[in-house]
Structure 1
Amino acid sequence: MTKTFLTRRTTSAPTIAVRQRWHRPLLVVAAGMLLLSLVATGGLFLDDRVLVGAPIWLKPLKFAISFAIYATTLAWMLSLHNRARRTGWWMGILVAAALVVEMGLMVVQICIRGRQLHFNQSTPLDTNFTIVMAVTIYALWGATLVIAILAMVQRLGDRTTTLAIRLGLVITLIGLALGMLMVMPTAVQQAAIDAGQTLPIVGAHSVGVPDGGAGLPVVGWSTIGGDLRIPHFIGIHALQLLPLLALLMARSLRHLGERVRSRLIWVAAMTYAGSLALLTWQALRGQPLFQPDLATLEALGLLVLFAGTATALVIRGSRSDRTARA
């Protein structure tokens, strides 16, 4: 019996260690992106070139920071897997490779060649850059989808954390997919294409106005028209915000219990998804973020009313349960 016990203990210990190890290639990519962000920050001060109305190093800086956050988050999430770990590991490798290729294309095309990367079909080389970029984005989305599926079939900690990760991954996949709206021709571009013209640029971030106009500081979101980068950005970062909310609730609302905290995560996720839909609708109507019309404000009011009412009902229900048990 002693021999059997020792054998089981020996074989189970490495499994526990593997579960606690973060995905190292993703962490390496995250560290590289942080280093690149420092280089890009220096480039903002030392390189005065401008491309599509923005400093030439600004886009690499924003993407490097975003990629670092994304890679770190997935490295942590994959460490929680206790099933299909090899599949998850390879999906992490695919994400890491896609991020590196995408950033490499960005630095070469924008910072070295001084050419627009997204939507650019000016020359065969520019078109090839755009095609490779599209392939890496599809690969990134597909790998994230597999990671999300793996998250659906296993526990990733307590109930609240698991739910937050699952819902965060789903909303993130939607946010990533919203980027596909940007590669579609604008109304003006489509009219030119229908007339038989060959355009150097097909697609845009902005709606109703040309890219490169007045925008918010740093992020560059249009202040004179709609901007599809807004819902794209908000959707992607559900991957961090919902698990972070679960962590904060575990510390500050521990007395409510896991079931109540899970219900609150559902409310938060539904509110987040509603906000994503509202921002997408606003952008597609060519409306600046901080210039909402009455319809947008009415929809926002309904969303706030839902969030407040649902939260109050969950809290009230938890108090009733505690009273009944007492």
Structure 2
Amino acid sequence: MAGLAVVAAAGMIVDDRVLVGVPIWSKPLKFAVSFAAYGLTLAWMLSRRPAPSRAGTWAAHTVVVTGLIEMSVIVGQTLRGRRSHFNVETPLDRGLFLTMGGTIGALWVATLVIAVLLFRTRLGDRPTTWAIRLGALIALAGLLLGGLMLLPTPEQQARRAAGLVSTVVGAHGVGVPDGGPTMPLTGWNTTGGDLRVPHFVGMHALQALPLLLYGIEALARRRARLRDERVRLRLVLTAAGFLTGLLALVTWQALRGQALLHPDPATLVALAALVAATATGGCAALRTPRTPDTDAHQPTRTMEPTG
């Protein structure tokens, strides 16, 4: 995938074709980078287990094979100048799109198996264990939300009801057609909802929580309070709560046909409440935990006899 990302980046430079409003090699580039990060993270998570297992080996191989099939279709369609996702214009296009749907389903099941394995064993100290486990759970939710893109849009449903043949089924955008103005790098729609946003937020919790924990552990060299395992665990749980809330928020925003960069007052209020709750949880997490040793040094009051 890393090598393919280099090839796709070169394609961005030498190939000036545009497909659905974006450079034709942008999708292979983004998917190659995403698969590289995904595979590397899952491999690291599985390496934390004390011993390999048949289920873990099967799941790891499934991730590799499905990723290769997915990227083969995406690159092949790019070379043909055709859409890989949502394209049912010809029998070949339809067959390739259905193949991609099957591989993503298998990828989700393999990730679920890995998540179950991660919950069945200790992966280090408690903060590390729960950063990995919760990151995997949120990633599963993000992958599942990608299925919303496969639903026919109201326009596509109307064409079907009128007996017309649709060449495209599903879309990234909500309330606007794909191919309009987009954000740089991500390609997310700037005039309407985009279901790729929650898909991205959920999937990359897989990396976000462990990386956050690494940052906390680096700061612990200077901040004695962060050396306490319970404090780090509380911060991980708070961050997981924030990512879960953010995933729900951007999903709600996208389904209402609202662009990420143009939130309405309701979205802003929900975001402010989420940030406030996270800040409160973070402050509570940083409290110095009471331990039996500290309690033992507290002066005790004794009852003096009276009379």
1:275 maps to a residue whose letter is: L
- 2:303 aligned partner: none
CA RMSD of aligned residues (A): 1.5
C-alpha distance in structure 1 between counterparts of 2:213 and 2:164, whole Å: 52
Check if 1:300 corresponds to 2:260. Answer: no
C-alpha distance in structure 2 between counterparts of 1:324 and 1:173, whole Å: 42
Count residues with an aligned counterpart.
Answer: 292
TM-score in terms of structure 2 length:
0.92
- 1:226 aligned partner: 193
C-alpha distance in structure 1 between counterparts of 2:71 and 2:295, whole Å: 57
- 1:10 aligned partner: none
Aligned residue for 2:191, secondary structure, equals coil
C-alpha distance in structure 1 between counterparts of 2:135 and 2:269, whole Å: 26
Answer whether contact 2:230 2:289 (CA < 8 A) is retained: no
- 1:50 aligned partner: 18
C-alpha distance in structure 1 between counterparts of 2:294 and 2:267, whole Å: 41
C-alpha distance in structure 2 between counterparts of 1:140 and 1:325, whole Å: 52
- 2:305 aligned partner: none
Superposition misfits of 4+ residues, deviation over 4 angstroms: 319-326
Deviation at 1:306, TM superposition (A): 0.4
Aligned residue for 1:198, secondary structure, equals coil
C-alpha distance in structure 2 between counterparts of 1:83 and 1:186, whole Å: 47
2:263 maps to a residue whose letter is: P
Deviation at 1:197, TM superposition (A): 2.1
C-alpha distance in structure 2 between counterparts of 1:325 and 1:306, whole Å: 33
Deviation at 1:45, TM superposition (A): 1.1
C-alpha distance in structure 2 between counterparts of 1:156 and 1:293, whole Å: 42
Answer whether contact 1:253 1:261 (CA < 8 A) is retained: no
Call closer, same or farther: CA 1:46–1:178 in 2, change over 3 Å.
Answer: same
Superposed CA offset, 1:111-149 (max 9, x none): x11111111110110000001000110011000000000
Call closer, same or farther: CA 1:195–1:81 in 2, change over 3 Å.
Answer: same
Aligned residue for 2:251, secondary structure, equals helix
Aligned residue for 2:286, secondary structure, equals helix
Structure 2 unmatched runs, 5+: 298-307
Deviation at 1:82, TM superposition (A): 2.3
Q: Which has the larger radius of gyration?
A: 2
Give identity over the alignment, percent: 54
- 1:174 aligned partner: 141
Call closer, same or farther: CA 1:214–1:202 in 2, change over 3 Å.
Answer: same
Deviation at 1:250, TM superposition (A): 2.2
2:256 maps to a residue whose letter is: R
- 2:87 aligned partner: 120
Deviation at 1:251, TM superposition (A): 2.6
Q: Which of the two has greater helix per residue?
A: 1
Superposed CA offset, 1:150-207 (max 9, x none): 0011011111111000000000000001110000011111122222222110100011
Query: Where does 1:35-74 land on structure 2 (aligned, <5 Å)?
Result: 35-74=3-42
C-alpha distance in structure 1 between counterparts of 2:35 and 2:250, whole Å: 22
C-alpha distance in structure 1 between counterparts of 2:145 and 2:132, whole Å: 20
Q: 2:56 aligns with which of 85, 88, 103?
A: 88
Q: 2:237 aligns with which of 259, 266, 269?
A: 266
TM-score in terms of structure 1 length:
0.86
Structure 1 unmatched runs, 5+: 1-32
